[in-house]
Chains A and B, each alone.
Chain A
Amino acid sequence: MTDILMPALSPTMEEGTLSKWHIKAGDTVSAGDVIAEIETDKATMEVEAVDEGEVLEILVAEGSEGVKVNTPIARLSGDDAAPAPKKADADKDEPKAEQADSPEKEAATTEGEGAAPVTPKVALKDPEIPSDARLVKTTIRDALRDAMAEEMRRDDRVFLIGEEVAQYQGAYKVSRELLQEFGDKRVVDTPITEHGFAGLGVGAAMAGLKPIVEFMTWNFGMQAIDHIINSAAKTLYMSGGQIRAPIVFRGPNGAASRVGAQHSQDYSAWYAQVPGLKVIAPYDAADAKGLLKAAIRDPNPVVFLEHEMMYGLEFDVPEVEDWVLPIGKAKVRREGTDVTITAHSRMVGFALAAAEKLAEEGIEAEVIDLRTLRPLDHETIVESVKKTNRLVSAEEGWGPMGVGAEVVARVIEHAFDYLDAPPLRVHQEDVPLPYAANLEALSLPGVDKIIKAVKAVTA
């Protein structure tokens, strides 16, 4: 015998009206036959038989209202080959309570950085630079190019795809000479089709390749954000660990010069919120190279935010075999005792310049280059604030819900008692970036705004 139960027709349905029976005792039904109609407050729906057999008895009469889900409504004869499924609530009681105070969950909460697997347990360290290593003045543009070229030589699964990356040599010349060395199979010019080629890249990564997807600017990457988040970041989890997406999305980010609001935006906070992604925003050429190489090798999807205004700037890059830096490690760029300034990307330069000016007035600022935004190295920040007792965060993006908001929250969670003043955030004004030169300058954060904030917290 098999009982036919009152079905739920939506995730929220608890009861309904059994408005009509299409069968009666003595009828024979097969799987797929419509046997009844059920009415909820939203709709009337047909119920089909799943089992076959003779109808022995109708248990709930036509027209009955308020029939609870999972109440037996009819009885079928049958050979019981298919055991009637148990009710859902029967085995749902215990795990709930257990979950609430599971040690894992508790650990995760107190960790702050919830994503336990990415919070590095081994201390991350930059590689030692041998004393005899030559330091070579290199533009960020070339450092990025060198990183890609080295990784493409090392691993033939790595390829670069994007608009104007091949024949044009890159809209910002970051892929200069890569086509010549690697050919058009591995340096692929695309149509103007960000959503499409980002999705194609993720698919290729799922199939085991290691794509570097270049967006001409991250502003255009917004067309592809669904694939970055829904397809790349979430699939490992949704597949129970089966499907990886080892892919790097890279390109210029942040405010450019006089190009207006649609071409000037900092996406740091957008991507740094997403579990499954790693997010890197380097400042100098050595970090750009070492972190891009690390990003390409990483088995996870990485968002790599370069700065549009910095490609041509030169910095020292150590001439060592295989310069790879750890993802998830901030760098103390300047030591100081009076205030901690956190920054990433182009703002690091402004923070350092501000620190020099402040030093002239006797304020010694410690400048921390975040380098990686996810996972965020809050240990380095917290250690610094425990020493300086004051915090200013600086970022180019908008303030609300931003990187600075997160930095401040972490410091409050982990070093509240050490703070001698409320932390301050320096960021872009809360407006789309204007075109007019004077308004643009007013909108963007820079050295002066950092100095002002530092003076406010140290006053």
Chain B
Amino acid sequence: MAKAAAQKPTTAKGKPPAKIPNTPQATKDELLEYYRQMVLIRRFEERAGQLYGMGLIGGFCHLYIGQEAVAVGVQASVKQGHDKIITGYRDHGHMLAAGMDPNEVMAELTGRIGGSSKGKGGSMHMFDVPTGFYGGHGIVGAQVALGTGLAFAGKYRGDDSVSFVYFGDGAANQGQVYESFNMAQLWKLPAIYIIENNQYAMGTSIERSSSTTDLSQRGASFGIPGEQIDGMDVLAVRDAVKRAVERARSGEGPYILEVKTYRYRGHSMSDPAKYRAKEEVDEVKKTRDPIEHVKKLLADAKATEDEIKAIDAEIKAIVAEAVQFAQESPEPDPSELYTDVYVEA
């Protein structure tokens, strides 16, 4: 780990880093599972976009399409129910990867009682203690301090749990991120900071917002090692996270993974994305799509067309059911207006 940390960043801006020398390996079954989770996220998000277009989902809706390999690659190292996961507002992918029920996630998007927050949270505010998912936070960067607190609780209890803290290249410029880094390293907290660098903070490219664009080195002045990962390659993400987690579980403290990824859609549904060329998006879709990448790996692993089609059909059914559930579940009863403001002592 120390070695990886010492490595000088090999990337110029915007380009994916060079592959880690020892090519990551995965079994066919593992690849099929990654494919399954990634396709679930993509089909779910496409459908969420459609429901938004129909007015069934309100407010803000930030889709995860293009970034699927990150959440799925990270999840491979999560001990479900033991470790903790926290993220910002682009959270649907993380929730599905964490194992939350797609019905509950979609019903929360439509603001129904069957939603994971009974319809009171919405797209950016969902939680699920059994899967260790602690939100879903709408204030950019807040989840970093909160996630550091989840790690603090793990260390306080001495239970070897790890806190996976997702944030974006935009949040990486918030002050509390560095307050958190400092405490995390000072107290050797088991926090893995996963910076999903999709290159745009809303409409502002990283070059226009960040004096240094190698975000993996943002912990350097605190002594937190970091590395850049190709976020379009699920195995690269998985293996880097695995190393960071082993390190954190053994008490060596926090680690930063800058995961280079790309969002295909706008920042939110109402973003026309004028700040980047259409060709740029098309190029990524054509050459770096994370799901196509897994498909290639599956072909190499001799997965059959039927195996892939079976997963596609399964996901289609799951998402269709979620859509149906999210429409059939009723709106919260008016009596829910005043529940959950306080815990009754």
A117/B341 in contact, CB under 8 A: yes
Q: A239 vs B136: C-alpha distance in the bound complex, in angstroms? A: 9
Measured CB to CB, the nearest residue on chain B to A277 is B342
CB distance from A72 to the nearest CB of B (A): 11
Q: Which of A8-16, A141-149, A362-370 contacts B (4 or more CB under 8 A)?
A: A8-16
Answer whether residue B277 sits at the interface, using C-beta atoms and an 8 A cutoff.
no
Report if A195-B176 is in contact (Cβ < 8 Å); known contacts: A117-B341, A206-B150, A242-B117.
yes
Interface residues of B, count at CB 8 A? 82
Q: Is the CB of A242 within 8 A of B129?
A: yes
CB A126 to nearest CB in B, in angstroms, measures 16
Q: Shortest Cβ distance from A255 into chain B, in angstroms?
A: 28
- Which of A45, A83, A201, A242 contacts B323 (CB under 8 A)? A83
Restricting to B5-59, which residues have a CB under 8 Å from any CB of A?
42-43, 46-47, 49-56, 58-59
Assuming the contacts A115-B341, A275-B341, asked whether A242 and B153 have C-beta atoms less than 8 A apart, the reply is: no
Of B88-96, B118-126, B232-240, B255-263, the stretch lying at the interface with chain A is: B118-126
Q: Nearest-CB distance from A119 to chain B (Å)?
A: 10
Distance of A431 from chain B, by nearest CB (Å): 30
CB distance from A296 to the nearest CB of B (A): 12
B46 and A45: CB pair below 8 A? no
B146 touches A (CB below 8 Å): yes
| Pairwise interchain contact B323-A239, C-beta atoms closer than 8 A | no
User: Are B137 and A190 touching (Cβ within 8 A)?
Assistant: no
A199 pairs with B121, CB closer than 8 A = no
Q: Which residues of A contact B115 (CB under 8 A)?
A: 240
Do A231 and B137 touch across chains, with their CB atoms under 8 A apart? Answer: yes
Within 8 A of A (CB), among B109-162: 115-121, 125-129, 134-139, 142, 144-154, 156
In angstroms, Cα B273 to Cα A42, docked, is: 12
Evaluate whether A200 and B180 lie within 8 angstroms (CB atoms) in the complex, with A42-B272, A45-B272 already known: yes
- Complex interface: stretch among B245-253, B298-306, B330-338: B330-338
B334-A104 in contact (CB<8A): yes
The residues of B that contact A48 with a CB separation of less than 8 Å are 46, 49
With A8-B53, A11-B59, A115-B341 in contact, do A242 and B146 touch (Cβ < 8 Å)?
no
Please judge, given known A-B contacts A83-B323, A200-B145, A241-B118, whether A236 and B337 are in contact too, CB under 8 Å: no
CB distance from B39 to the nearest CB of A (A): 10
**Segment at the B interface, from A86-94, A332-340, A381-389, A448-456:** A86-94
Question: How far does the alpha carbon of A114 sit from the alpha carbon of B337 in the complex, in Å?
Answer: 11
In the assembled complex, which residues on chain A have CB atoms less than 8 Å from the CB atom of B128? Answer: 242
CB B44 to nearest CB in A, in angstroms, measures 11
Q: Is the CB–CB distance between A241 and B345 below 8 Å?
A: no
B324 an interface residue at 8 Å Cβ cutoff? yes
Q: How large is the interface on A (under 10, 10 to 19, 20 to 34, 35 or more residues)?
A: 35 or more
State whether B342 touches A276 (Cβ < 8 A): yes
Stretch at the interface among A95-103, A165-173, A390-398, A400-408: A95-103
Could you say which residues of chain A place their CB within 8 Å of the CB of B84? 207
Q: Is the CB of A227 within 8 A of B179?
A: no
8 nearest A-B residue pairs (beta carbon): A203-B149, A199-B145, A7-B53, A196-B179, A43-B272, A207-B153, A10-B270, A240-B118
Name 28 interchain pairs, CB-CB below 8 A, sorted by A: A8-B54, A8-B55, A10-B270, A13-B270, A50-B50, A69-B53, A81-B317, A82-B47, A82-B323, A87-B55, A88-B54, A102-B334, A115-B342, A159-B156, A190-B183, A199-B146, A199-B176, A200-B149, A203-B149, A203-B151, A204-B149, A204-B153, A205-B149, A209-B153, A235-B127, A238-B117, A239-B340, A300-B342
Q: Which residues of B contact A (CB under 8 A)?
A: 42-43, 46-47, 49-56, 58-59, 65, 84, 86, 115-121, 125-129, 134-139, 142, 144-154, 156, 175-176, 179-180, 182-183, 186, 266, 269-270, 272-274, 313, 316-317, 319-320, 323-324, 327, 330-331, 334-335, 337-345
Residues of A within 8 A of B (CB): 5-11, 13, 31-32, 42-45, 47-48, 50, 69-70, 81-83, 85-89, 91, 95, 98-99, 102, 104-105, 108, 114-118, 159, 185, 190-191, 193, 195-209, 226-227, 230-231, 235-244, 246, 275-276, 278, 297-300, 327
